């Protein structure tokens, strides 16, 4: 592990002392922040850190409930440190240039359990075209983590069942390709075989994959209304948000060992700190299980 007080940190603090006129207290605080960051990075020298490593460290401070002002000061120290290294030709790229302090999370989304998801997925009546459609929608949403708006606007041609992939255009017109599992594929195939033709009826062509009872593109409100009714049928009494299956998708992935970067890509989040909220949810779930089942919980 590198010495937490590296030559670069020493030179940077000396530079500030001679050129910036900062108080000794501020200089000492900057030095402490940089030393702590270096210790957290382990074998990676602070001067060679990536943006992702710095993001992870700042968010961990947030998770540890470090005072927001202290996090802001640490971010300021890092930004000034890398500007110093750039100006003195010690590095070529600034990993802190686009770095932002993690946003305070006001509310952690409630997440339905895996058993509740199973009940919800089994709630549609498969003897009706609408039930077959709803089954396909629910299986796709839980398999892919798609937003409600992404599901209702999903073009028919952006689904590749043979490859088990769906191409999604999300927020900011950002495209991502998401894999779906065999169960979702089978549910969609069943929908395409009988239910969709029955719902489309006389309409020759509808561009979206999923259609309403009158054969038109579904609205977000219609889909959310269907999900709420199916949740009641499945006896799910906890508050289920429009993104309930998306939250469950992410949390259950993390509970089963998926890494944050992968979940970030699957969800289409531009900022990792948005994805990291699910580590909080997973942690609370684990603590709840421990308290409930451990003899000394």
Take residue 294 and report the two structure tokens written for it.
């451990």
d(CA 272, CA 281): 15
Fold of 114-293: hpI Integrase; Chain A (1.10.443)
Q: What is the pLDDT of residue 237?
A: 81
User: In terms of DSSP bridges, do strands 175-179 and 159-160 run parallel, antiparallel, or are they unpaired?
Assistant: unpaired
Q: What is the pLDDT of residue 1?
A: 45
Residues of the chain with CATH 1.10.443.10: 114-293
d(CA 77, CA 81): 6
Per-residue pLDDT 10s for the chain (297 aa) are 455 788 999 999 999 998 887 788 889 999 999 999 999 998 889 999 999 899 888 888 877 878 888 888 999 999 999 999 999 999 999 999 988 766 554 455 667 888 888 999 999 999 999 999 999 999 998 888 888 889 999 998 999 999 999 998 877 677 888 889 899 999 999 999 999 999 998 767 889 999 999 989 999 899 989 999 999 999 988 777 777 888 888 788 877 777 767 677 777 765 555 556 566 555 555 555 445 544 554
How many helical (H) and strand (E) elements, i.e. helices and strands, does the chain have? Answer: 14, 3
d(CA 164, CA 90): 46
Distances 130 to 133, 184, 256 between C-alpha atoms, Å: 5, 16, 32
Which residues carry out catalysis? 147, 171, 243, 246, 269, 278
Backbone angles phi, psi at 187, to 5 degrees: -65, -40
Q: What is the pLDDT of residue 276?
A: 61
Residue that has been written with the tokens 């402490």 in this structure: 32
Q: What is the pLDDT of residue 289?
A: 47
Backbone angles phi, psi at 239, to 5 degrees: -65, 120
Residues of the chain with CATH 1.10.150.130: 7-87
257: burial class by Cβ within 10 Å (0-12, 13-18, 19+)?
exposed
Distances 246 to 30, 185, 224, 295 between C-alpha atoms, Å: 40, 18, 13, 33
Q: What is the pLDDT of residue 106?
A: 47
Nearest to 198 by CA among 130, 252, 258: 130
Which CATH entry fits the domain spanning 7-87: 3.40.50.150, 1.10.150.130, 3.40.640.10, 3.30.70.141? 1.10.150.130
Q: What is the pLDDT of residue 161?
A: 93
């Amino acid at each position: 592990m590198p010495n937490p007080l590296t030559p670069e940190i020493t030179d940077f603090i000396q530079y500030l002392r001679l050129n910036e006129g900062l108080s000794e207290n501020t200089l000492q605080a900057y030095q402490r922040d940089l030393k702590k960051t270096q210790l957290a990075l382990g074998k990676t020298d602070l001067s060679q850190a990536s943006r992702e490593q710095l993001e992870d460290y700042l968010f961990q401070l947030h998770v540890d409930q470090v005072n927001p002002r202290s996090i802001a000061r640490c971010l300021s120290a890092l930004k000034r440190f890398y500007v110093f290294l750039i100006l003195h030709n010690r590095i070529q790229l600034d990993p802190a240039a686009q770095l932002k302090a993690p946003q305070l999370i006001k509310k952690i989304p409630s997440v339905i359990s895996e058993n509740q998801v199973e009940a919800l997925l089994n709630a549609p009546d498969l003897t009706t075209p609408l039930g077959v459609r709803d089954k396909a929608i629910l299986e796709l949403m839980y398999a892919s983590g798609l937003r409600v708006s992404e599901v209702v606007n999903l073009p028919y041609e952006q689904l590749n069942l043979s490859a088990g992939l769906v191409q999604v255009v999300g927020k900011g017109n950002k495209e991502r390709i998401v894999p779906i599992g065999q169960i979702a594929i089978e549910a969609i195939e069943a929908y395409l075989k009988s239910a969709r033709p029955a719902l489309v009826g006389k309409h020759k062509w509808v561009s979206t994959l999923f259609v309403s009872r009158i054969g038109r593109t579904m609205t977000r409100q219609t889909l959310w209304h269907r999900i709420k009714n199916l949740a009641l049928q499945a006896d799910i009494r906890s508050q289920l948000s429009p993104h309930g299956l998306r939250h469950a998708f992410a949390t259950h992935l993390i509970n089963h060992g998926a890494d944050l970067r992968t979940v970030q890509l699957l969800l289409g989040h531009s900022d990792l700190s948005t994805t990291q909220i699910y580590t909080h949810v997973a942690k609370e779930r684990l603590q709840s299980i421990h308290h409930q089942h451990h003899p000394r919980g």
